[in-house]
Amino acid sequence: MGFRMGIVGLPNVGKSTLFNALTRTAAAQAANFPFCTIEPNVGEVAVPDQRLDKLAEIAKSKQVIPTRMTFVDIAGLVKGASKGEGLGNQFLANIREVDAIAHVLRCFEDGDVTHVEGRIDPVADAETIETELMLADIESIEKRLVNIVRKVRGGDKEAVQQERLLKQALAVLEAGQPARVVEVDDEDAKAWKGLQLLTTKPVLYVCNVSEEEAASGNAHSEAVAKMAADQGNATVVISARIEEEISQLDEDEAAMFLEEMGLHEAGLDRLIRAGYELLNLETYFTVGPKEARAWTIKRGTLAPQAAGVIHGDFERGFIRAETIAYDDFVAFGGEQGAKEAGKMRAEGKGYEVKDGDVLHFLFNA
């Protein structure tokens, strides 16, 4: 299981440059004019995890298979998108299909790169896009409320629930806040997700700074961080130019380049980790001589459902999960050593899988 993160922002903020770095391709045309990305570019990237390499080394695995994430580079949005301006309708439709939004904000000064509004103000840029998404949600809700009137009058339970949730969302949006601030009960969670409102998507602000400011950020990124903190959202400071350069280097060259720039790790690694946090994702491992593999699950997933990520039969016929914590697997030199040290546990259907667990599932075929 992975997830789809949409890379959004105004034109010329560095979305496509960042996407190129993420996918290590030049598939997205990074050109200095609006709408150079006409169709959403989709790329899958491996999730960097040093634990997987360590496990493979210990188990002498022939193959190493990381878990993957999908990134979607979405066409630049302009003011009026909710009314179809620019490529607004397409932009909004593409956002509905992603699980989270990486909102790239221009936090660099460069007279050679045109800003669509003729100024550098990332907080205002963020507000522009948020406003367009909120306006689109309001329009969508108003239409849906009209369309379900008859079912509500007829006492249809799903329609009554939908109307209640739509009205909750509308009240928040009309007060100038995104729908994600609505607190939803567990019994409403599925119906709420089914509404597919744009402003319910989790948001990560990506501050694109110049190469010289990649390590420290700047006044623009600090302003974004303050805005994000007030909203309860996260930020990552990245130089898309640096990330694109790093993506073309081998591992040793990349490490030297990062050191020269005063960076401890690639910004993309921080972006991916922040994305994991954003959607409450975590990783477990399966390890053996044939392969060491990482699997993505939602935090709080029980063992049978975690097994189901590998194959549905594993979940249906689940018996137990032989479980070793990552630290124990490493400390005792692998599965056999951990087992002899009493560190392998047999966990049943009620076990909540932990990040870093090394698992072996037993099931009835």
Q: Which residues are annotated as a binding site for ATP?
A: 12-17
DSSP codes, 34-78: TT---S-EEEEEEPP-HHHHHHHHHHT-SEEE--EEEEEEPPPP-
Cβ(306)–Cβ(284) below 8 Å? yes
Known binding-site residues equal: 12-17
Distance CA(151)–CA(327), nearest Å, equals: 55
Phi/psi at 32 (5° precision): -85, 60
At 127, list the tokens.
């507000």
Q: Read off the DSSP letter of residue 246.
A: H
Least Cα distance to 22 among 270, 344, 193 occurs for 270
Comparing C-alpha atoms, which of 127, 121, 32 is closest to residue 79? 127
- Give the integer Cα–Cα distance in Å for 9 and 3: 19
Judged on CB neighbours under 10 Å (0-12, 13-18, 19+), 151 is: middle
Helices and strands (H, E) in the chain, number of each type: 15, 12
Compute the distance between CA of residue 18 and CA of residue 110 in angstroms, rounded to an integer: 17
Nearest Cα residue to 44 out of 4, 101, 94, 91: 4
At residue 230, what is the residue type?
D
Question: Is residue 100 within 8 Å of 275, Cβ to Cβ?
Answer: yes
Nearest to 17, CA basis, from 26, 9, 8: 26
| Cβ contact 283:47 at 8 Å | yes
